[in-house]
Amino acid sequence: MTLPAVVLVRPQHEGNIGAVARAMANMGLTELLLVEPAPELGDPAYAFAMHAHDILRGAQRHASLQAVLAQFDFVVATASLRDRLWPHPVVPPRELPAHLERHASGARVPLVFGAEVSGLTSDELAFANVLVSIPAAPANPTLNLAQAVLLLAYELYVARGTPGAIALEPVSRATVFQLDHLFGRLQELLAEVGFARDTTIHRVARDLRQLLARAGLSEREAALLSGLLRRTRNAIARGSRARFE
C-alpha cells in the first residue's frame, strides 16, 4: 500500500499541526501538506511535534486545496456529516484500508482534514472519492484534529502489517493431560488441609477444574503451578512430622 500524504486545510493552531506531525511519525507517515491560510510554525508547533520535527520542516504550503490535489490520484476526505446527506461512499476508519485496496491500489492518496472548528466545506468535500466519518458519542461527536489524523493513520498502519511490532514467542498450551495432573495435585493439597471433608467438595472440585480449562495456561505455567502445589504439600508434611518428633 502506497503511503498516503496528510493534507490539513486551513488549520488554525500551530500546536495542532505539531501534534498531527507527531501522530504521523508514530504511524510511519512523512508527507504533510498545508492549505492556506495556515499559521507559521514556531516553538509551540515544534514542542507538540516531539520526534517529528523533520515532518514540520518538510511541510509544503499550497494556496488552495485544488492545487494540492492535482498531484494525487484518489482523494480521501474526512467529515462528521452530522447535518449533511452525501452521495459519496462513506466508510469508518477501520474499513478505509480495504476500500483503498479495492479502489485505489498503487494510487497516490491524500488524507484530507478540515479546519478545527468548521471542517471541510461542501465544495471541498466534492473533490473526494470517498469520505471517512469517525463514529463518536453523540454528546461530543467531534475529535481534535490530531486525534482524527491518528485514527486514520493507525488503521492504515495496521493494514500494512504493523512493521516494527514486537514478535511474540510462540506459547505451547498445556495439554489436557497436564491440566489433569495439575488438578490432581490441587486435589491432593485440598485433602491434605482437610477441605475434602467439606460437603461442597465435589462442586468446588468441578468449578476448579473448569477454571483450569478456561485459564488457557501454557505448559510452563501449568508446570509452575504443579511444582508450587507439590512444594506446598511437602512443606505441610514436614511441619506435621516436626510436631510429632
In the prediction, which pLDDT does 98 show? 94
Q: What is the pLDDT of residue 242?
A: 62
Task: Give the C-alpha distances (Å, rounded to integers) separating 237 from 77, 192, 223, 234.
Answer: 72, 9, 21, 5
Q: Which residues of the chain have pLDDT under 70?
A: 1, 81-88, 162-170, 196-199, 240-245
Task: Report the pLDDT value the prediction gives residue 2, as an integer from 0 to 100.
Answer: 78
| CB-CB contact of 25 with 52 (8 Å) | yes
Among 225, 212, 221, 218, which Cα is nearest to 185's? 225
Q: In the prediction, which pLDDT does 197 show? A: 64
Q: What is the pLDDT of residue 164?
A: 59
Q: How far is CA 100 from CA 41, 117, 159, 204, in A?
A: 32, 28, 11, 54
- How high is the pLDDT of residue 208? 83
CA-nearest of 133, 144, 149 to 99 is 133
Query: Is there a contact between 63 and 186 (Cβ–Cβ < 8 Å)?
Result: no
pLDDT (tens digit, 9 = 90+) per residue, 233-242?
Answer: 888 888 766 6
- Residue 1: exposed, middle, or buried by beta-carbon count in 10 A (0-12, 13-18, 19+)? middle
- Residue 1 has a pLDDT of 59
Domains of the chain in start order, with CATH, are 5-159 (3.40.1280.10), 176-244 (1.10.8)
DSSP state of 166: P
Count of CA atoms in the C-beta half-sphere (13 A) of 34? 23
pLDDT of amino acid 176 = 83
Residue at 90: amino acid letter: V
pTM: 0.70
Spatial CA neighbour of 109 closest among 29, 164, 16, 20: 29
Q: What share of the chain is helix, strand, coil (3-state, %, to 5)?
A: 50, 10, 40
Gap between the Cα atoms of 120 and 32, Å rounded: 17
Q: How far is CA 182 from the centre of its chain?
A: 36
The amino acid at residue 99 is: H
φ/ψ (deg, to 5) at 110: -100, 145
Cα–Cα distances in angstroms (integers) from residue 75 to residues 33, 110, 115, 126, 143, in the given order: 14, 6, 17, 10, 21
